[in-house]
Amino acid sequence: MDTLSCLLDGPKARGAFILKSVFAPPWSLRIEDRAPVSVVTMVRGDAWVLPDHGRPVLLRPGDVALLRGPDAYVIADRPETPVQIVIGPEQRCNTTEGEDVTDSMALGVRAWGDDRQLGSSVMLSGTYQAPSEIGRRLLTALPVLLVRPADAGHHPLVQILAEEIGKDEIGQGLVLDRLLDLLLVGVLRAWLTAPESGAPGWYSAQADPVVGPALRLLHEQPATAWTVASLAHSVGVSRAGLARRFTQLVGEPPMAYLTSWRLSLAADLLREPDATVATVARRVGYGGAFALSAAFKRVRGMSPQHFRKSGAAPATQQFTTTAQTVVLDR
């Protein structure tokens, strides 16, 4: 399995908050829901996305934007339109005067807004409530705002989502989740493969004839008792050569990368209801529950048990990136 497939196997929508919003200009929403990542696309009309940390971008119909939390942002018909509604945690919506309009502005199945006649602005949005820890390695590398234009190939999928979002049939939530995943993966894949897009080093490294095979071994066999020497032997290079090249291309030494990968896998597995710390430890390459707990607490600042109970990413894991806004070529 290639590096991207391994990483994208994690962030699957599970009951994502998916909504069609309909507005008559002027309109402006401030999003403060602190969601890990949201997908936004316009079906009709244009909209400006104004992140708190990043340059504004104009979205046209069919453009797909990924917005990485927890930073807040504004979506409006025009940059100068004053904010009218603030969307907070759990998707509660209040006017700037404090009036709760979450229910009063509902327009039917997964529809919300101020214009029942389908005004000039129709927006689709999907919010991932809690991406898996495997996906978090990818999400932490994302810019605050990433946009793939419609003419890059997404417009048909946007239309399918627009048609499906208002249906209330058996399994409809699952259908919408998978459509959202396809939009997300398409944008991520375009970003990672675009030249000079700011994609992380570990993705580019998979094409390297030495580091690429090493990454695949670490991803596919995390429970193996790897050392730099055994990994170097498996890919046919010297220990020093692998360590130097891996660190140069990936940005961290092989064993540090392996530790991070194992703990990301462990965090994902800990969310399974029947998993124990001991069984998770064995599956990701630790000798027992104590060894995993010590590593988990050292790197993530909390025990596996605490992590499982909290159901949230540890505070020590921060989202950092040098690229704040990336717009792929139109």
What is the pLDDT at residue 188?
Answer: 86
- Output the average pLDDT for the chain: 86
| Cα distance between residue 117 and residue 132, in whole Å | 38
For the residues of 115-152, what is the DSSP string, one character each?
-TT--SEEEEEEEES---HHHHHHHTTS-SEEEE-GGG
**Is 131's pLDDT higher than 70?**
no
| Cα distance between residue 52 and residue 71, in whole Å | 7
Tell me the percentage of the chain whose pLDDT exceeds 90.
Answer: 48
79-93, 184-198, 287-301: segment of lowest average pLDDT: 184-198
Q: Which residue has the higher pLDDT, 323 or 258?
A: 258
DSSP conformational letter for 273? T
What is the pLDDT at residue 151?
Answer: 75
Q: What is the pLDDT of residues 166-220, one digit of tens each?
A: 888 888 988 998 898 888 888 888 888 887 777 777 778 888 999 999 999 998 8
**Is 71's pLDDT higher than 80?**
yes
Q: Could you give the C-alpha distances from 39 to 65, 66, 221, 255, in angstroms and in order? A: 6, 5, 32, 34
The answer to whether 154 and 64 have CB atoms below 8 angstroms apart is: yes
pLDDT band at 257 (very low <50, low <70, confident <90, very high): very high
pLDDT band at 11 (very low <50, low <70, confident <90, very high): low
pTM: 0.79
Q: Could you give the C-alpha distances from 310 to 23, 284, 300, 304, 317, in angstroms and in order? A: 37, 21, 13, 10, 14
Q: Mean pLDDT over residues 124-141, rounded? A: 75
Both tokens of 309, joined, read: 């109970």
| Cis previous bond, 82, omega within 30 | no
**Is 321's pLDDT higher than 90?**
no
**Is 73's pLDDT higher than 90?**
yes
Q: Long-range contacts of range 236-240, CB-CB < 8 Å, 24 or more positions apart?
A: 237/210
What is the pLDDT at residue 325?
Answer: 86
| Cα distance between residue 316 and residue 50, in whole Å | 27
What domains can be seen in the chain, in order of their start residue? 3-193 (2.60.120.280), 203-310 (1.10.10.60)
Distant-in-sequence, close-in-space partners of 86: CB < 8 Å, separation ≥ 6:
29, 30, 32, 93, 94, 95, 96
| Cα distance between residue 180 and residue 1, in whole Å | 23
- Other beta carbons within 10 angstroms of residue 235's beta carbon come to 18
Q: Mean pLDDT over residues 123-146, rounded? A: 79
